[in-house]
Amino acid sequence: MDRLGIARATRGRKPQFKHDETTRAYILKEGKGGIHWYRYQELILKPKLIPFAKECLKERPSTIV
């Protein structure tokens, strides 16, 4: 581990990532509506893109979606 320069886990509390405006992480604000990553995944990717990609793979196995 020392030769590779990999440090072992340090003791203490793990750092916490906070979703707020100071970290520029997206926060869904009350009454704003819109779409964020989770809603996009649930409304667009899973029901529409995934079945489409599976159909493309049947006809053209080398398709990359």
What pLDDT score was predicted for residue 34? 63
Question: How far are the Cα atoms of 3, 21, 31, 43 from residue 25, in angstroms, in the given order?
Answer: 36, 6, 18, 21
Distance between alpha carbon 57 and the CA centroid of its chain, in Å?
24
Report pLDDT for 52: 92
Sorted by where each begins, the domain ranges of the chain are: 34-65
Torsion of CA 43, 46, 51, 56, to 10 degrees: 100
Q: What is the pLDDT of residue 1?
A: 59
For every one of its 65 residues, what pLDDT tens digit does the chain have, with 9 covering 90 and above?
567 666 766 677 877 777 677 766 666 666 666 667 777 888 889 999 999 999 999 999 998 88
Name the pTM for this structure.
0.43
